[in-house]
Structure 1
């Protein structure tokens, strides 16, 4: 029993001693990591700076309030300058949350907006974060209308809208390439309406009109799909087991036939819209190469403008 008590006493003393040393070491580590981070940041070794700032902030109880604020700010900037925009967003959001009214907050907002834009590196991908950048930019201009960063933020808004416009154009071009010309025309029209000044309007207007003129390509695709569905539905009608099922199938047939008529109507409306848009195009852009190509396309159709 005495041996066990002695062992426990020694163990307690050892642990007590370790706890005291650990406390001192934690304070020492906090300052060492902080100094290393500042040195790396000064040398523009942003990856190493970010790592050391993160380590220092693990011991933030042993940093001064000023050091904590500085570490959070420079950590965010280190991520940003290192091109690690996802972590930059997290760190900048954190900094703005805890320090909403400091002078540095305006710069943090600017970097946050640009980081959101850069999270998706190209317009092919989903633009959720680009829209988030616009949301943050509008918040910034509302909170800091007289900031020296305001002109830069406005440029970022323009950059974000151009990126989203390009994303929408890629979708429209995808529809166009696969024969869904009417769907493409609608997309091009939305780009013209929603992103004026952020695209080559003469080219997008040309593609919009051209797709309207070629709406028959999509009508043919839709007609084939609907006709196949009608045939399959007629087969089901023959195999119907009761009157209630037959009525449901007949309603399905009527709907599919109405869809055929709807696409015929879309074709007629697309022709009218194309002629009106072409006349407007000539007024705005003159008889340029795009206009002449569209005229040839019109003249090659069975109907005339």
Structure 2
């Protein structure tokens, strides 16, 4: 029992005498910075952050302050505290516009912002902010060594917005039971195809546009049915022209058969 107590006391003493604890208690700014750098180099970012937080005010204007503040931002990024990392990279870029790390800090601010972007179904404020910042970065540094990475992030951000726009348009067709607004769905899907002509969701959008026109037609009052059936037929043809072997072919063909059958009553 005494052996375990002695070991526990020894561990407490050792922890209490660790470089981090000494540096936390020290008034020596240079020593704090030295220990923080050691911890950073050892990839002990959470521990380094504790010292960088103490150095945030007193470390300004001191030798190596530029590198210290860059590592401060990096440490926040590496522990995935993207909100703080984003602000610290922004502050660093503003404070050190001529730094060799200026472009890198701007890109890392953008990466931190995009890391805060939630799944496509939620608010995309951070995604829009990412795209705005990326455009500024690409315009300012078109030949940047980080240009390829910046464009890759731009692609991912735009894809997320594209998916959100498609899903919102599609939901007008798929959600709501009898309250579904098929006219609004057709307009939204039309707008989506116009805004994203090369979209990977074009086949799906064309199908749901046809499906919306089909349901609108077969549930119409008699006076509007013929025109709406013809419109649905046109949308079927657009789908098949785009992709003859569409994954929706069997379902679309069955729907077209119903459209043609219903149209026969208007040819008598």
Common fold: TM-score over 0.5: yes
User: 1:270 & 1:150 partners in 2: Cα distance?
Assistant: 49
Alignment of 1:179-218 (within 5 A): 179-215=180-216
Report what 1:96 is aligned to.
93
Report what 1:148 is aligned to.
145
Q: Please, which of 171, 175, 178 is the counterpart of residue 177 of structure 1?
A: 175
Cα displacement string for residues 233-279 of structure 1 (whole angstroms, at most 9, x for unaligned residues)? xxxxxxxxxxxxxxxxxxxxxxxxxxxxxxx9998876555433332
Cα displacement string for residues 149-181 of structure 1 (whole angstroms, at most 9, x for unaligned residues)? 101111110000111122223323443222233
Alignment of 1:129-278 (within 5 A): 129-175=126-172, 176-178=174-176, 179-215=180-216, 273-278=231-236
Contact 1:120 1:127 in 2 (8 A): yes
Using a 3 Å threshold, how does the CA distance of structure 1 residues 285 and 83 change in structure 2: closer, same or farther? same
Cα displacement string for residues 38-70 of structure 1 (whole angstroms, at most 9, x for unaligned residues)? 222222222333332222112124622xx2221
User: 1:266 & 1:139 partners in 2: Cα distance?
Assistant: 50
- What count of residue pairs does the alignment treat as equivalent? 235
Contact 2:120 2:161 in 1 (8 A): yes
Unaligned runs of 5+ in 2: 1-23
| Greater share of helix | 1
Cα displacement string for residues 58-88 of structure 1 (whole angstroms, at most 9, x for unaligned residues)? 2124622xx2221221222222222111112
**Rg comparison, structure with higher value:** 1
**Superposed displacement of residue 27, structure 1:** 9.0
Contact 1:181 1:218 in 2 (8 A): no
User: 1:162 & 1:77 partners in 2: Cα distance?
Assistant: 27
TM-score by length of 2: 0.74
Report what 2:62 is aligned to.
63
Using a 3 Å threshold, how does the CA distance of structure 1 residues 283 and 170 change in structure 2: closer, same or farther? closer
User: 1:105 & 1:27 partners in 2: Cα distance?
Assistant: 31
Contact 1:96 1:109 in 2 (8 A): yes
User: 2:144 & 2:215 partners in 1: Cα distance?
Assistant: 50
Using a 3 Å threshold, how does the CA distance of structure 1 residues 91 and 61 change in structure 2: closer, same or farther? closer
Contact 2:166 2:201 in 1 (8 A): no
Q: CA RMSD in A?
A: 3.2
User: 2:84 & 2:207 partners in 1: Cα distance?
Assistant: 42
